[in-house]
Amino acid sequence: VPVDDPEAPAFIEYSRQWCKALTKEHIRDGLAAFFPSSLDPGFRDYLIRQFLLELREYYEIMQQMDVQLIASSLLFVYDADLDRRRAFFDGDVSNDEGSETSQSASDNEQTPLLDMRAIDFAHSQWKKDDATMAGYLLGLENLIKLFEDFGANGPSP
């Protein structure tokens, strides 16, 4: 998992093994790595709030689905590029030369700074299974709570 820490000279790579080894006691370390304290605090807060909105919406949808999910993954992606972020928040979509085609500007304005996707549905079936889904929904509830706590308390020191 590559993370762009503004204070690091290059992307910081976290291995799949490191991510999978995160325990309940250390999951905040994973969020702190994904949202490094060197990110602009306002931008970090924005990302966490937006991901919380996505998670809550996904949770609401999954409560209504007739699907059996044993496990899946959630992919969280954000664009930490400072120029791109400024363009998004300020509405300024010019490039370094100061001009850009209207089509490129339009594309840039419509490209989101973040996205959350549910992936890895290898063990899923389209049938109602309340017991299995209860565990899946509990996992989502715990993740929502984790993001809420992380957003309220900031990253780990």
The predicted-structure confidence for 79-118, as pLDDT tens digits, reads as follows: 888 788 777 777 654 444 443 433 444 455 567 889 999 9
Q: Which residue has the higher pLDDT, 50 or 24?
A: 50
Q: Residue 122: what pLDDT?
A: 77
| Average pLDDT of the residues of the chain | 80
Q: Residue 103: what pLDDT?
A: 42
- 107: Cα within 13 Å, side-chain hemisphere: 5
Q: Residue 91: what pLDDT?
A: 61
d(CA 116, CA 136): 17
Q: Which residue has the higher pLDDT, 66 or 35?
A: 35
Rounded to an integer, the average pLDDT of 112-141 is 82
Q: Which residue has the tokens 């490094």?
A: 36
Q: Residue 107: what pLDDT?
A: 52
Q: Which residues contact 71 (CB under 8 A, 6 or more apart)?
A: 120, 123, 136
Q: Which residue has the higher pLDDT, 73 or 92?
A: 73
Q: Which of 43, 39, 40 has its CA nearest to residue 88?
A: 43
Q: Residue 136: what pLDDT?
A: 85
d(CA 28, CA 152): 12
Rounded to an integer, the average pLDDT of 28-46 is 89
